Amino acid sequence: MIPHKTIEDLINKHSSLENDLSSGKIDKKLFAEKSKEYSDLNDILEIAKKYISFEKDKAELEKILQDQNNDQEFKMMAESELKDLIIDNNLNEKKLKLFLLPKDEADKKNAIIEIRAGTGGLEASLFAADLFKMYEKISHNKKWSLELISISRSEAGGLKEVIASIKGTNIYSTLKYESGVHRVQRVPDTETQGRVHTSAATVAVLPEAEEVDLKINESDLRIDVFRAGGPGGQSVNTTDSAVRITHIPSGLSVSQQDEKSQHKNKAKGMKILRARLYELERSRIDQERSKDRKSKIGTGDRSERIRTYNFPQGRVTDHRINLTIHKLNEFLEGEAFDEVIESLTLRAQEESLSTL
């Protein structure tokens, strides 16, 4: 049971914000933040009020049932209403608990997605390309903006590695469950015996960190410049425009050479480095807070096999929640993606609630 004081604080906070926003005296910088907080509270306000009045409403119905002067039909109506009231209250309590769960500030952030071919040679790189196309289609369907940061191609249209930035609304909260090993089972085009091969690609989704999120001292960075190279090592640039940035305290290193401008390569490299350092710190704090947590959902463990794409059977299986959908083509087109993400989000919420 949630303490009434906690729920009353939510209701009072809503009233306070309503007064502040209507006063016209709020600083412009705070207005958007307070408006968002007010909107969030507005969604839960009626549920909060019903939860507060539950005991009073329940007592009144129980009084009707205990009153010997009331006829049987009236009592039956009261009994039915009491059952509905208890069911609604249990549901309202769950919604309020979800609302009161600690918010992950990273959920609202844009994301950097990194896809790399894993085991399986050429077939793995082709699968990495398929995954990237899938995220491109998801971004298009959701009207997100996807910007390519770095790409390394293999033969036959495959990808050894691709890094992209995705911007929009609540990007990280949607894509954070994608981090891990994605496995594919299919017959490669080069397979003459018709045998099914298993290959893999890794996906890492990082919240894009702003400068205000993470202070990086210039003295902690070593920046090396070198000449960009193309396939086979041939020179594709006559100036030293490629940049390697090393964060000395953590040992993290990022190389960027896709742009002809050294300045642009440095800016892109810093974006990747900042995201990786931010995620490193988030992971450290998360491990300290939840050393006993057994769940793998949303942990972003890149070594964990999270999903299998089986082409012969036309199915996608998410191993974290034992969910299988027979909509492989739709999933790769980005059309059945939300179905799996919603199930993952619900399970993660249930696990968080169980720890309260």
Q: What is the pLDDT of residue 238?
A: 53
CA–CA separation, 170 and 293 (whole Å): 25
Let me know how long the chain is.
356
- Contact criterion met (CB below 8 Å) for 144 and 164: no
Q: What is the pLDDT of residue 54?
A: 95
Q: What is the pLDDT of residue 354?
A: 74
For the chain, which residues make up each domain, given as ranges?
Answer: 4-100, 107-208+296-354, 218-288
Three-class HEC string of 29-60: HHHHHHHHHHHHHHHHHHHHHHHHHHHHHHHH
Between the alpha carbon of residue 199 and those of residues 193, 241, 262, 351, the distances in Å are 17, 35, 36, 31
Which one of 3.50.50.60, 3.30.70.1660, 3.40.50.300, 3.40.50.620 gives the CATH number of domain 107-208+296-354?
A: 3.30.70.1660
Cβ-in-10-Å burial (0-12, 13-18, 19+) of 264 comes to middle
Q: What is the pLDDT of residue 300?
A: 45
CA–CA separation, 221 and 245 (whole Å): 7
218-288, CATH topology level:
Double Stranded RNA Binding Domain (3.30.160)
CA–CA separation, 266 and 257 (whole Å): 9
Beta bridge mates, 235:
229
pTM for this model (two decimals): 0.70
**Tens digit of pLDDT per residue, the chain (356 long)?**
888 999 999 999 999 999 988 888 888 778 877 888 888 899 899 999 999 999 999 999 999 999 888 888 998 999 999 999 999 999 998 889 888 877 777 888 899 999 999 988 899 999 999 999 999 999 999 999 999 998 999 988 899 999 999 999 889 989 999 999 999 999 987 777 888 999 999 999 999 887 666 788 888 889 888 877 654 444 445 567 889 999 998 889 998 888 888 888 888 888 898 888 888 887 776 666 554 444 445 444 556 789 999 999 999 999 999 999 999 999 999 999 999 998 998 888 888 777 65
Cβ-in-10-Å burial (0-12, 13-18, 19+) of 199 comes to buried
